[in-house]
Amino acid sequence: QKEVEQNSGPLSVPEGAIASLNCTYSDRGSQSFFWYRQYSGKSPELIMSIYSNGDKEDGRFTAQLNKASQYVSLLIRDSQPSDSATYLCAVCPSSASKIIFGSGTRLSIRP
């Protein structure tokens, strides 16, 4: 089992709709969870961090965390073509400062 799992996609969503990205992780003791956005040929950009169960909203982005289910998600409301990118879920395991990344989900927003 991979430490952080994501569906590779591509996930195609019409412009203006809600894009939902999901991630599961294996280390039950993990405390820190992140979503990074990576455009093709560019470096990852931190867009959301979440540390406690529930929802965290920042503009059009909402991160959701359920530690009991070992599940993290990212919702993007009012999707824009500029949201088309690969979204990387990242988890900081309980015993380390390194971050473990999922392989990413490619999101495509169609006009």
Partner 1 sequence: NAGVMQNPRHLVRRRGQEARLRCSPMKGHSHVYWYRQLPEEGLKFMVYLQKENIIDESGMPKERFSAEFPKEGPSILRIQQVVRGDSAAYFCASSPPEKTDTQYFGPGTRLTVL
What count of other Cβ atoms lies within 10 Å of the Cβ of residue 9?
14
| Amino acid, res. 110 | R
Q: Applying CB under 8 A, does 28 fall inside the site for partner 1?
A: no
Positions in 72-101 near partner 1 (CB under 8 A): 88, 92, 96-101
Residue with structure tokens 């359920």? 66
Q: Applying CB under 8 A, does 17 fall inside the site for partner 1?
A: no
Instruction: Tell me the three state secondary structure of residue 70.
Output: coil
DSSP β-bridge partners for residue 46 = 36
The piece of 18-26, 45-53, 54-62, 69-77 that touches partner 1 (CB under 8 A) is 45-53
Rounded to an integer, what distance in angstroms lies between the CA atom of residue 63 and that of residue 23?
11
Q: Applying CB under 8 A, does 20 fall inside the site for partner 1?
A: no
Please say which residue, 45 or 78, places its beta carbon nearer to partner 1. Answer: 45
53 contact partners, CB below 8 Å, separation of at least 6: 65, 66, 67, 68
Please say which residue, 15 or 52, places its beta carbon nearer to partner 1. Answer: 52
Rounded to an integer, what distance in angstroms lies between the CA atom of residue 43 and that of residue 49?
17
Please say which residue, 76 or 88, places its beta carbon nearer to partner 1. Answer: 88
Q: Applying CB under 8 A, does 43 fall inside the site for partner 1?
A: yes
**Which spans of this chain sit near partner 1 (rule: CB under 8 A)?**
32, 34, 36, 42-46, 49, 88, 92, 96-104
